[in-house]
Amino acid sequence: MACLKKGCLQLYCGDGKGKTTASVGLAVRAVGTGLKVLFCQVMKDGTSGEIKMLQKLGITYLCCPEHYGFFWNMSDEQKKEAQQSYTALFRKAWDMAVKEGYDLLVIDEFMSAYNHGLIEQKQALECLMKRPDCLEVVLTGRNPGEELLKLADYVTEMKKIKHPFDQGIPARKGIEL
> Looking at the domain assignment, is residue 176 inside a domain?
no
Q: Is the pLDDT of residue 1 over 60?
A: no
List the beta strands (DSSP E) in the chain: 9-13, 37-41, 60-63, 104-108, 136-141, 154-157
Q: Is the pLDDT of residue 48 over 90?
A: no
112-146: pLDDT as tens digits: 999 999 999 999 999 999 999 999 999 999 999 99
Residue 64's CATH number: 3.40.50.300
Cβ neighbours, 10 Å, residue 129 = 10
> Looking at the domain assignment, is residue 133 inside a domain?
yes
> Looking at the domain assignment, is residue 88 inside a domain?
yes
> Looking at the domain assignment, is residue 172 inside a domain?
no
Please report which confidence band the pLDDT of residue 2 belongs to, taking 50, 70 and 90 as the band edges. Answer: low
Task: Give the residue from 155, 163, 85 showing the smallest Cα distance to 119.
Answer: 85
When divided into structural domains, the chain yields a total of: 1
> Looking at the domain assignment, is residue 4 inside a domain?
no
> Looking at the domain assignment, is residue 175 inside a domain?
no
Q: Which domain does 84 fall in, by range?
A: 9-167
